[in-house]
Structure 1
Amino acid sequence: MTHLQKITKPIALLLILAMTSLTWGCESTTNAGRGAGYGAAAGGVIGGIIGSRSGSWAQGAILGAVIGGAGGALIGNYMDKQAAEIDRDVEGASVERVEEGIRVVFDSGILFSTGSSAITSASRYNIEKLAGILNRYDDTNVVIEGHTDSVGSEESNQILSENRAQTVANLLKTYGVYNNRLSPVGYGETRPVASNETESGRHLNRRVEVLIYANEELKRQAESGELRM
């Protein structure tokens, strides 16, 4: 991944999703019904950065279009089922439903050795399980984000985060996820979810996030009533 791609890809994703507002409140409970309710009222397109109640980051272009009505409920149900499978089958992952998307967080210490972007043999199976689920729910796009703590130089952390995101993307491709669904990006130390002043905080900041959201085909099926689960 080049330095230029590092800068432009997140911006491009946000522009594609035409960010019009921010949502402040990530919940892990079912979202099928809520997708219909607020979507019909708000309409439009939502994307970009979603903050938790504590002010932490939930990065990336995860929401896609808010369809509303019955279509929004269908997408919510599609995502609920997919999130439940990930939560059940993929060890070492924290799964969160965020509006019309899914946020999956892996502790980098689970996937990689310290300072390395080579995925551990023990973790390959979990990425394979995730790929299998993504392949069953194939009308989604996937952003893979690499994040580090602030130990070391900003440049080395940026490169490490990019390489880790790319490694996960490459492995998902190996297990059959189409390349055009995947957008790996590294944020280095720029988006912490906790303080880097403590070891526990640095531990949380060393992570890989997989953000899953509806593609245009899924939105079309939901709006037309063709989507069946």
Structure 2
Amino acid sequence: MIRRLIAVSLAGSLALGAAACTTVDPNTGVVVRSNTKTGALAGAAGGALLGYLTNTNRGEQGRKNALIGAGVGALAGAAVGNYMDRQQAELRAQLAGSGVDVERQGDNIVLNMPSDVTFAVDQADIQSRFYPTLDKVAETLNNYPQTTIDIIGHADSTGSDAYNQALSERRASSVASYLVSHGVLRDRLYVAGRGESQPIASNDTPEGRAQNRRVEVVLRPLTS
């Protein structure tokens, strides 16, 4: 029931926000999207986006069931590798030079979004210069609906455990909100923060801490 209320609240917030994210060009009269307002919406809605976002989920299997029930077919056999190969190639082409690393781990694809290109220091609002990159991510995700999406925030060890945990959650939620507001089906998402618990480099150096401050987007093939 709680998740259902959160999901309904999120849907309402995004629907209302979508109108607020448009403006009328005074020269042409054309309605256009405002990236600044869209980013503000993502940051504001982000706090509500944690855990599985399906209305009927009971964990990972619930997410799969919701997607299959929504008409998203499951992959099987050789189709899995081919599907992920094509998605990886599109992501590499779209994200070249963006600062986002595209890594293949078996049948999974991991997008590593370092905080220096995604967020300002100690902030969870997405930097406006990163909007075009996330637009490309959303576009590719919408082109390949037969994948689930885990969005995981991480922090370095500066500050308290509780603070870093909360910051990692807010950053993951901001990315998730932005993607949902750009058409990515929320039933595909799992959103969480890991705080400082999963470093990929030493926290003893500034360079290592910079690597540890990140958001990972893990794409997994939807299989039955």
Q: Look up the match of 2:85.
A: 80
Instruction: Report the counterpart of residue 167 of structure 2 in structure 1.
Output: 160
SS in 2 for 1:166: helix
- Choose from 184, 202, 207 the match for 1:195: 202
1:108 aligns with 2:111: no
- In the alignment, what sits opposite 1:89? 94
| Equivalent position amino acid for 1:88 in 2 | A
The equivalent position to 1:124 in structure 2, one of 124, 131, 136, is 131
Cα separation, 1, equivalents of 2:51 and 2:178: 20
- Distance change (3 Å), C-alpha of 1:190 and 1:13: farther
* Maintained 8 Å contact 2:63/2:187: no
- Over the aligned positions, Cα root-mean-square deviation in angstroms equals 2.5
Inter-partner Cα distance in structure 1 for 2:191 and 2:51: 10
Q: 8 Å contact 1:112–1:120 — kept in the other structure?
A: yes
- Measured in 2, the distance between the counterparts of 1:126 and 1:206 equals 18
Cα distance change on mapping 1:129 and 1:16 into 2, 3 Å = closer
Contact kept in structure 2, 1:80 and 1:97, CA below 8 Å: no
SS, match of residue 146 in structure 1:
strand
Distance 1:146 1:128, change over 3 A: same
The aligned residue for residue 22 of structure 2 is none
CA distance in 1, matches of 2:120, 2:180: 22
Structure 1 pair 86–115 and aligned structure 2 pair: CA distance change class (3 A): same
Unaligned runs of 5+ in 1: 18-64, 221-229
Matches within 5 A, 1:1-229: 12-13=59-60, 71-90=76-95, 91-215=98-222, 219=223
> What TM-score, normalized by structure 2, do the two folds share?
0.66
Q: Distance in 1 between matches of 2:200 and 2:221?
A: 25
Describe the shift of the 1:191–1:128 C-alpha distance in structure 2 as closer, same or farther (beyond 3 A): same
**In 2, are the aligned partners of 1:102 and 1:213 still within 8 Å (CA)?**
yes
Return 5+ residue gaps in structure 2 as ranges. Answer: 1-46, 53-57, 65-73
TM-score by length of 1: 0.65
Alpha-carbon separation, structure 2, partners of 1:207 and 1:147: 5
Q: Compute the displacement of 1:73 (Å).
A: 2.4
